[in-house]
Structure 1
């Protein structure tokens, strides 16, 4: 008695399908070979041959005839059979009539508890809603829409005592089920015999809704094509819940709800494959299992296929399957098990795209970076921005690309990106077309990033070009970070050394204000390699100095930074580069100070001061003088340090006209911060706190959040020493709110310790102990020399000698 929509709407065996089958066997072709030659999915061809589809569209029939090499009368008969099949498919209705039964419940539904709860809420709302409730489940091909709908329908069956029905609308087929055929199936499921069924769609709709009055019924409309197909099938009466699965958003449906399905979390993806292949087997190789989930993009269909492959091959290790999937060129081939194929799921959506959208889908898959904006998409394809928006909307509606929360940005699922590249290379001339796309994107990204970065030079009164202000340039650099970094990487591989070096050179001043957010080591290492390839010794010295700065300032790797700056000093000397030699000496002084070698640091910075006289104030002199003051303070000479820093504050006003407002503000805030440290060393805590507060406010104005947080820590310590514990705690908590990124773990650990000291003074011993435990955990994870020293100090506080067992003997 069970029936699917395909059987109801298309009838029994298809004459055209039998004809295809005979010709395929006569030609000695497999289904996969014929489907590939004709540009069809294997599923579509299989459905034709088994009679699940009555015929093919005109172009598909011609493609099959071409693939089968049919000519003359054979070809004419073949195409005529297809035409007659199309005519019959629009009106055929199975006469027997049977309930539209739910598909079997999907075992091992993992990671969808939130969505199931949303569907429970929708079922509850359907009781009172005047027009019932309609929920569309939308997402990428293979994300598990049908599995979720089936699981929800079985789960909610007790809430719908008058019936639960499922229809496959075959929205991805060449000939989706018509509204008339679907309504006929629904009416027969509700007890209307075919001879008594209304003749027109409007009459069918009225009859359908009248039959549902006073009933509680759930419908699953699976694999919908579009709003036009679905709209007549919506019950719109109280007590009904309609679940629709579709690869498009169906945004035109009135009063609907939408649940967007994302790929699983990494943990849920591993749990899914473990439920299929065996938990012990997956648990034995946790790293390989995590990589397997990553290679599958956490896509449920891909994870099920991977699990099935492991389950059917008990001799395989997880690592072996991972090794098969690492090759991007064969990953989609490897993700197949029986009739489950990731590529086939993608192919169905791809075939329904317009021709221009297909080309855009393929071209954009080669863009550098994890996401992209409309601008670079237009540049890479040579299309106007308005036209590009139309194609991107079509791709996003088909869920072949993901529209990001930020307006105008898009991304690919990893497997869809591979599929898009594969299709593009097959349908075009291949490598030359790909090179055109990549070169256009890289040119645009490198040129724009270099131009934007120049706005951050201390003496840049206005860099001009495509950016109208530093703020606009900053927004572009922040938004396109991953893309211009990827473009630099591609340019380095392509041997475009001058452009790679130009970008690295321009980015230093931007790096100063984004020191914690980006992998600067990679950016400047590529610049260094480019300088060496070009035999540009002065540029090599500069890149070494920038790389050394990253290693101590961003990564806290003092030993590596010391070696890097020593090499920079040597190269600058060999090249006769006075400016980079002075900068190398200053950087060495900073690193030596960090390492506790104060006398050596002072000697190096004095040499840097002498060499910096030929530098401009904003590009060298001011920074070197501030460093001299820092080292004098560390050497126990805070009054001399204070004098130096106050002189720098005076110079700032003298040379103010030669710098941008942002440069002046940042430099002034740094100098005020150093004056605060000098006053703190002199135990003038209230004045020190006020200087730190002034520095914080200027950092905040410039949106220098990391620097503002560091100044907040210093202000907090100063207020604590001045006796204002409440103000101290406020400052330290403000800093902790900023130190959340992995790169800020050392700063967070230090701040936790300072907050613990402050809380102890207010009698909050429990909270203080908890903060120390958190700091100790961070220090152990960091493992740097400074972190190990702080960890040892924290361990002594937690276990003082008077409490140790040996001290009690």
Structure 2
């Protein structure tokens, strides 16, 4: 729906037309108009995250999206193409190329509006490809040809889908580019193939048109005419060597890298430069294919010759030596190596032969700098392209340019698969997507998968995807020959590393999370941090690790992770390494818990294993940042420990990080961890740990307003604590039961429970829990309307929290005092308390930040500061969303709607009220839902523009109390 409205921006689109676009005939829902209403609500909710969200209007049975057409890719595409055509008419082909390339590469990505399945959408797609995309490509190729960039034309043509590439327009562009690049034999062969194809297809007129075009090209380049004879092959100059392997016929993507190689291999005049470029990347990522393909495209620039040698730095068999390369190159240049002796003389002869015009030299599969260091002296006048699994930093110090070869993008992988499996890719789109994703951008695996699917055309792609999900199957793909299996390809890199580097790589295979910090790696290896960091850098140099985001974080590609895990499983160190892994996270998380909640009763854990150095934290902010950064790893480690019966860890870990997860807005993660903890406590027969987990689960369910579930969890927790006679556990559970009563509207019952709990904590001298209870009592008394008692308990909570250094409780007490001052009409005091609470909770508790900003919004409303009130309400909504607090979101939306309605922004107000209504109904707050329905009925009668927007909010104090 959004796609159609964007295509028809600022124009009304009737419901019937939307239906034709979105659903095939006979496939529309029974009530398409009702479905569109639901979709509009979802779209509005999503767009609301934007700073200035566009508006979707509904009027007279039509929908209209108010957005500038220039902001929409399709319309911007047309504008850039028009600009390029104007530039080309003026002879400015460079500007035309820039505009056209940016339009095609940046704006036209994939199939247009692929989620629209109606007949109207299918017809539109076919129309825009033929009337917009093909002419844009054609204009780009024409301007590139005018600039002499024939290689770029050929590269871009190779990336087009088959159906576009075989159109007569594109066939003619390819012929023109081949002639322009002086590849006449190739052009003539291509012409014959295409003419035969057209005649076989019955397109005789197009075949004749192609013949006329080919004759024009040959006449234009008459000095290079080719006479084709079945008996006499074209002559080849013996003194110009061409040692490049065959080009990769199915090469796909890598356009940016190919263009980058074009730029760094020429000098300021555009001529080939004497330089070194290093293509470095993971095993199997496609470095050799890229190097060979680019070399073929650039071959016409190097009239002195194209030389190639595989140095076998990573592979079965002997590593190639300098003398092997020198001898082979001399032979290719017409000199018998045996006639020149010794090696120094042969090197001098090679240097002399290559000292004239530039030659292109590809040194493939280089192990390290030492393997080619002296050889490069002979190639000082050449363009040298090196491929290696190592980054070769010594070459960089010699002035070489490093070109990192990343895994294929999903789009490139999908295009490659589609090119070879044809209609199966679209017929089994989901399975094809799974195959590409499972290959992880590794060209070697994808190539093997393509070969397997093509050799078994009757097997569903989904079966191949299922096969790839098995680690051992993936690593064994490709057979048992040299470099033929994935496992063998990875093994050459692994065995090239030192034993210490191999050990660290194996140990990293025990970590189930997405990335690794230096601290974790040092504890895994039980070695000095700096020493481990050096080894990690070595693994990066070998492309066995990557650093996609940070210099202190390291990541294993999925394929390498599988390989490392396989190696770790066979290692004698595996069990001890897993123990150190768990100890690192458990102890570091305990340190974070101690800093963020210093007065909570600490969870007892055993000392960490020898060699484990947990992370220490100077303040709550640093602890919160660490947990936020490690969240995905913590979740993965908990899941691994649960699956493998490591109950001690699973029982303890959620208690360390659960509340921090809650403050960061990741309640679902906290709940998932606690459910694992409950299961482990039950299996291990540990009643205390199971009771703690049930109590903490009830706390999170209460925050999610799942009241019945929370009650069940708390009842189970209390029964278990009673069974083991744990008074602290009983009191902590009762404190949560009191909060449950308050949230369900029984403030009197809440006060009764909390006063009893307060006495217990004071008897047990549990001061941290006492401070929290005082704050909860202040909250309950305020909701009862007893502001005097509320103030007394809030100030008592604040004093005790300050004595204990309990910042979180202190911030909550300030927030509660702000609410009390607000209800008393003491706006200056309320604002000051909010500001103090903000300084405490900043970056540490999303839910509390939402509450503070919502309170501030009320303060500004009462002060008459409408703009500030709106800003605070929007901030509150953002924080509540990040903490997944539906109730908080509804309250913020309701306040914001009132503010907008008071400014005569009725449509925006109605949308926010509708969202709040949905949320209040979802959480069972029928009173608020009824109030909003009444407000919605007032919108049609609202005045268009009030004389004074601030005064239009009637009786703000009364409005605040009703909210």
TM-score past 0.5 threshold: yes
Residue 497 of structure 2 is aligned to residue 350 of structure 1: no
2:243 corresponds to which residue?
100
> What is the correspondence of 1:190-229 to structure 2 with a 5 Å cutoff?
200=343, 204=347, 208=351, 211=354, 215=357, 218-229=360-371
Structure 1 residues 745, 801: CA separation in 2 closer, same or farther (over 3 Å shift)?
closer
Structure 1 residues 651, 221: CA separation in 2 closer, same or farther (over 3 Å shift)?
same
Contact 2:506/2:567, CA 8 A, preserved across alignment: yes
**Per the alignment, in what secondary structure is the counterpart of residue 402 of structure 1?**
coil
Deviations 1:132-157 (A, max 9, x none): 44332222111122233334334445
**Per the alignment, in what secondary structure is the counterpart of residue 449 of structure 1?**
helix
Displacement, 1:246?
A: 0.9
Tell me how far apart the structure 1 counterparts of residues 686 and 647 of structure 2 sit (CA, whole Å). Answer: 11
Residue 266 of structure 2 is aligned to residue 115 of structure 1: no
Tell me how far apart the structure 1 counterparts of residues 905 and 382 of structure 2 sit (CA, whole Å). Answer: 58
1:306 corresponds to which residue?
449
Residue 677 of structure 2 is aligned to residue 527 of structure 1: yes
Tell me how far apart the structure 2 counterparts of residues 223 and 782 of structure 1 sit (CA, whole Å). Answer: 63
Tell me how far apart the structure 2 counterparts of residues 146 and 130 of structure 1 sit (CA, whole Å). Answer: 21
> What is the correspondence of 1:471-490 to structure 2 with a 5 Å cutoff?
471=619, 477=627, 480-490=630-640
Displacement, 1:381?
A: 4.4
Deviations 1:150-185 (A, max 9, x none): 343344456666655543332224433333433454
2:945 corresponds to which residue?
none
1:712 corresponds to which residue?
853
Tell me how far apart the structure 2 counterparts of residues 764 and 163 of structure 1 sit (CA, whole Å). Answer: 72
Number of matched pairs:
687
Q: CA RMSD in A?
A: 4.7
Tell me how far apart the structure 2 counterparts of residues 790 and 250 of structure 1 sit (CA, whole Å). Answer: 66
Structure 1 residues 360, 510: CA separation in 2 closer, same or farther (over 3 Å shift)?
same
Structure 1 residues 344, 538: CA separation in 2 closer, same or farther (over 3 Å shift)?
closer
Tell me how far apart the structure 1 counterparts of residues 242 and 926 of structure 2 sit (CA, whole Å). Answer: 71
Contact 1:735/1:751, CA 8 A, preserved across alignment: yes
> What is the correspondence of 1:65-80 to structure 2 with a 5 Å cutoff?
none
2:793 pairs with one of 626, 641, 647: 647
1:416 pairs with one of 552, 560, 569: 560
1:284 corresponds to which residue?
428
Contact 1:126/1:239, CA 8 A, preserved across alignment: no
Q: Which stretch shows the higher mean deviation, 198-207 or 625-634?
A: 198-207
**Per the alignment, in what secondary structure is the counterpart of residue 853 of structure 2?**
helix
Contact 1:686/1:722, CA 8 A, preserved across alignment: no
Residue 562 of structure 2 is aligned to residue 400 of structure 1: no
1:177 corresponds to which residue?
320
Structure 1 residues 262, 606: CA separation in 2 closer, same or farther (over 3 Å shift)?
farther
Give me the TM-score of the superposition, normalised by structure 2: 0.61
1:4 corresponds to which residue?
none
Deviations 1:285-318 (A, max 9, x none): 51x4444444433423223322332222222223
Q: Which stretch shows the higher mean deviation, 318-327 or 179-188?
A: 179-188
Contact 2:439/2:446, CA 8 A, preserved across alignment: yes
Deviations 1:205-246 (A, max 9, x none): 796488455x56544332222223344555899996543221
Tell me how far apart the structure 2 counterparts of residues 469 and 557 of structure 1 sit (CA, whole Å). Answer: 34
> What is the correspondence of 1:230-309 to structure 2 with a 5 Å cutoff?
230-232=372-374, 234=376, 241-253=383-395, 254-266=398-410, 268-278=412-422, 280-281=424-425, 284-286=428-430, 288-309=431-452
Residue 656 of structure 2 is aligned to residue 656 of structure 1: no
2:290 corresponds to which residue?
148
Tell me how far apart the structure 1 counterparts of residues 934 and 335 of structure 2 sit (CA, whole Å). Answer: 83
Give me the TM-score of the superposition, normalised by structure 1: 0.71
Contact 1:136/1:256, CA 8 A, preserved across alignment: yes
**Per the alignment, in what secondary structure is the counterpart of residue 285 of structure 2?**
coil
Contact 2:520/2:584, CA 8 A, preserved across alignment: yes
> What is the correspondence of 1:777-792 to structure 2 with a 5 Å cutoff?
785=923
1:598 pairs with one of 745, 757, 770: 745
Q: Which stretch shows the higher mean deviation, 170-179 or 447-456?
A: 447-456
**Per the alignment, in what secondary structure is the counterpart of residue 393 of structure 2?**
coil
Structure 1 residues 175, 628: CA separation in 2 closer, same or farther (over 3 Å shift)?
same
Contact 1:266/1:294, CA 8 A, preserved across alignment: yes
2:841 corresponds to which residue?
699
1:367 corresponds to which residue?
511
**Per the alignment, in what secondary structure is the counterpart of residue 440 of structure 2?**
coil
Structure 1 residues 442, 350: CA separation in 2 closer, same or farther (over 3 Å shift)?
same
Contact 2:282/2:389, CA 8 A, preserved across alignment: yes
Contact 2:822/2:830, CA 8 A, preserved across alignment: yes
Structure 1 residues 654, 248: CA separation in 2 closer, same or farther (over 3 Å shift)?
closer
Structure 1 residues 183, 561: CA separation in 2 closer, same or farther (over 3 Å shift)?
farther
Structure 1 residues 667, 186: CA separation in 2 closer, same or farther (over 3 Å shift)?
same
Structure scoring higher RCO (CA < 8 A, sep ≥ 6) equals: 1
Structure 2, unpaired ranges of 5+: 1-237, 608-612, 942-963
2:172 corresponds to which residue?
none
Structure 1 residues 109, 492: CA separation in 2 closer, same or farther (over 3 Å shift)?
same
Tell me how far apart the structure 1 counterparts of residues 928 and 282 of structure 2 sit (CA, whole Å). Answer: 49
